[in-house]
């Protein structure tokens, strides 16, 4: 029988895994502040394939200027280790984020993605995301060649 795939909370004991998985999968590097406990909340999860941690999602609520009520769930990072891709783990993360948005009465999920990574852009489009805008030089500080990003949006 194939091992089960389950989401688990990110805690002080396992939060290093968030950093490790991000660092081996994503084209950008996050600051130490990104991994501070205060930035981890109900929108952050680890995915386990059996006993093995294989993926992470970290998202946050976004509050529009001039308001005190969040209206967007913004995915900061979502990554699955290469050998475990194509098993539905990424989709499970998106379903989890959609569910959290629903509970919070929020109707939009957004994220930035490296415009050059067509495969990942297509993957998000398959999950129902559409391109909201192109953001020139978004990843310039990260030293990526052709550093443009796409802001993707999903209505939930």
Ligand X SMILES: CC(C)(COP(=O)(O)OP(=O)(O)OC[C@H]1O[C@@H](n2cnc3c(N)ncnc32)[C@H](O)[C@@H]1OP(=O)(O)O)[C@@H](O)C(=O)NCCC(=O)NCCS
Site for ligand X in 76-105 (CB under 6 A): 77-80, 85-91
Applying CB under 6 A, among 10, 40, 56, 120 the residue interacting with ligand X is 120
CB of 125 to ligand X, least distance (A): 7
What is the CB neighbour count within 10 angstroms for residue 151?
16
Q: Hey, is 59 helix, strand or coil? A: strand
Q: How far apart are CA 83 and CA 53, in angstroms?
A: 12
Does residue 52 bind ligand X (CB under 6 A)?
no
Considering only the stretches 32-40, 99-107, 110-118, 139-147, report the one whose residues sit in contact with ligand X under the rule CB under 6 A. Answer: 110-118
State the number of binding residues for ligand X (CB under 6 A).
21
Determine if 26 is a binding residue for ligand X (CB under 6 A).
yes
Q: Classify 131 as helix, strand or coil.
A: strand
- Exactly one of 113, 115, 149, 154 binds ligand X (CB under 6 A); which one? 113
Residue ranges in the chain assigned as alpha helix (H) = 15-25, 89-103, 118-126
Residue 155, judged by CB atoms within 10 A of its CB (0-12, 13-18, 19+), counts as: exposed
Of 14, 122, 146, 155, the one binding ligand X (CB under 6 A) is: 122
Spatial distance between the Cα atoms of 68 and 46, rounded to a whole number of angstroms: 29
User: Smallest Cα–Cα separation from 110: which of 137, 129, 136?
Assistant: 129
Out of 5, 17, 25, 61, the residue judged to bind ligand X by CB under 6 A = 25
- Cβ closer to ligand X: 91 or 107? 91
Q: Which residues bind ligand X (CB under 6 A)?
A: 25-26, 77-80, 85-91, 111, 113, 117, 119-120, 122-123, 126
């Amino acid at each position: 029988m194939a091992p089960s795939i389950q989401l688990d909370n990110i805690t002080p004991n396992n939060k290093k895994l968030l950093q490790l998985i991000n660092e081996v999968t994503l084209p950008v590097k996050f600051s130490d502040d990104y991994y501070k406990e205060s930035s981890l909340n109900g929108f952050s999860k680890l995915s386990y394939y059996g006993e093995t941690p294989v993926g992470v999602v970290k998202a946050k609520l976004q509050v529009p200027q001039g308001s005190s009520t969040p209206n967007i769930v913004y995915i900061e990072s979502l990554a699955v280790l290469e050998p475990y891709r194509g098993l539905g783990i990424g989709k499970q993360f998106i379903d989890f984020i959609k569910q959290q948005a629903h509970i919070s009465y929020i109707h939009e999920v957004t994220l930035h993605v490296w415009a050059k990574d067509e495969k990942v852009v297509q993957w998000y489009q398959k999950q129902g995301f559409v391109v909201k805008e192109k953001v020139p030089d978004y990843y310039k500080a990260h030293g990526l060649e052709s550093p443009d990003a796409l802001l993707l949006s999903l209505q939930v």
